[in-house]
Amino acid sequence: MQRFAHKTYIASGLRTPFGRGGGALADHDAISLSVPLVQAMSAKARPDLFIWGTVIPSLGWSNIGREIWLDAGLDPTVPAFSTVLACSTSMVAALTAAGMLGGDTDLVMVGGAEVMSNPPIGLKLDASKRIVKLFRTNPAEAIAALQALTPDDLVLPVKGWANRITGRTMGDHMEETAQIWGIGREAQDAWSLKSHQRAIAGWESGFFDDLVIPLPELARDANPRADTSIEKLAALKPAFDTSGKGSLTAGNSSPITDGAAACWVATDAGLARLPEGTHYAELFDHEIAAVDHGVDGLLMAPSFAIPRLLARHGLRYDDVTLWEIHEAFSAQVLANVAALEKPGWTRDRAGVDFDFGEFPWDRVNPNGGSVAIGHPFAATGARDLSQAVKELWAMPSGSFAIVSICADGGHGTVALLRRP
């Protein structure tokens, strides 16, 4: 069984270098950071449709896709719209595009951008209602009311990007999940070190050269650290739980990151419009899962989506040659795979009675993941897809890849790719 009536492909695109929060790219917003990337992508081919996303909202626009497309000076007859699903935003853009292929739509550019350095500051509802009413009746009093605002009137990102329902950050939730699954500090730091070492090796080998466009402010990813070590990681203090039980640190968590990323979704006819040598893979199937985060954990949905997706095709873990797993936190990767490996989990919790075998740890994120490279929320899906397609292209024909992303709200999105 295949998901689509006709062959559907993901082709590697481009991305900006990923910058550290408050660093070289901090003067941008999501639109200005996206424009040079979209222009570079459009120089390769004109898409029939453009889908883009950002997770951190702005009052300055509602359809960031159209704003970027027009600011880039591109053909205004190309439709452009926006999508969002937290950290899965640009993967969902790709899945949306895949469902829209056909007729006159053969090639879609998808992606996302985030400038996490500059989160917007908003008004709480009561303050907003009061001041908007004053602007309608007495603008002078409205201005005075603005000047008299206190922190209690404002929506401030003082705890990072907290879940609205729980009021807790992703890190707060992941600390709890790490303790439930017995994911200790040493294992988290060891995974983080591998991520940095692999990302640095990828840059040194030239793997990222045709995936990343240099910007005037930054030529390569700023987050991977060549000088890190297990000793340096172990010396860092917990970043979320400071009670003495915490294990998540700045070193084993994905950093605040600015960046944009894009990839292509295409039919056979769309592939023919891309430059010769573009890497591509068939989008064979996908799965989106949602869980009760109060029961299973905020970032554990991939452990439900992956077995459901593989079982549909009779695939064991070892049948998948490449695993590209988004690293929101080292603990998140380790906990989701621990669930996949736990006897009875896929049957009793994911509802799949299938023998998946042993998990091939040596096939995960061969060129590093989000802990090292960075995690601009809306850009991560396109970055993961492009990276996986290029990695898969070096493998034998028929090889499968899993690309997995966890997302706020108890979501998990997973794509199954196949090397032609």
- Which tokens is 142 given? 């409205």
Query: If we measure between CA atoms, which residue out of 204, 169, 196 comes closest to residue 86?
Result: 169
Query: If we measure between CA atoms, which residue out of 22, 32, 204, 226 comes closest to residue 119?
Result: 22
Catalytic site residue from 196, 286, 375, 411: 375
Q: What is the distance between the alpha carbons of residues 143 and 147, in angstroms, rounded to a whole number?
A: 6
* DSSP three-state, residue 97: helix
Q: What is the distance between the alpha carbons of residues 312 and 324, in angstroms, rounded to a whole number?
A: 20
Q: Identify whether 173 is a catalytic site residue.
A: no
**DSSP H/E element including 145:** helix 139-147
Catalytic site residue from 28, 263, 406, 411: 406
Rg (alpha carbons) of the chain, rounded to whole number: 21
Query: If we measure between CA atoms, which residue out of 408, 411, 152, 119 comes closest to residue 256?
Result: 119
Residue pointed to by tokens 């010396």: 235
Q: What is the distance between the alpha carbons of residues 69 and 65, in angstroms, rounded to a whole number?
A: 6
Distances (CA, A) of 97 to 4, 8, 100, 105, 135: 12, 10, 5, 9, 42
Burial string for 169-197 (b: 16+ CB within 10 Å, else e) reads: bbbbbbbebbbebebebebbbbbbbbbbb
Catalytic site residue from 87, 173, 286, 293: 87
- Which tokens is 402 given? 């899993």
Q: Identify whether 375 is a catalytic site residue.
A: yes
Q: Identify whether 196 is a catalytic site residue.
A: no
The β-bridge relationship of strands 107-115 and 154-155 is unpaired
Question: Is 235 exposed, middle or buried, given 0-12, 13-18 or 19+ CB atoms closer than 10 A?
Answer: exposed
Provide the 10 A C-beta neighbour count for residue 209: 11
Q: Which residues are identified as catalytic? A: 87, 375, 406
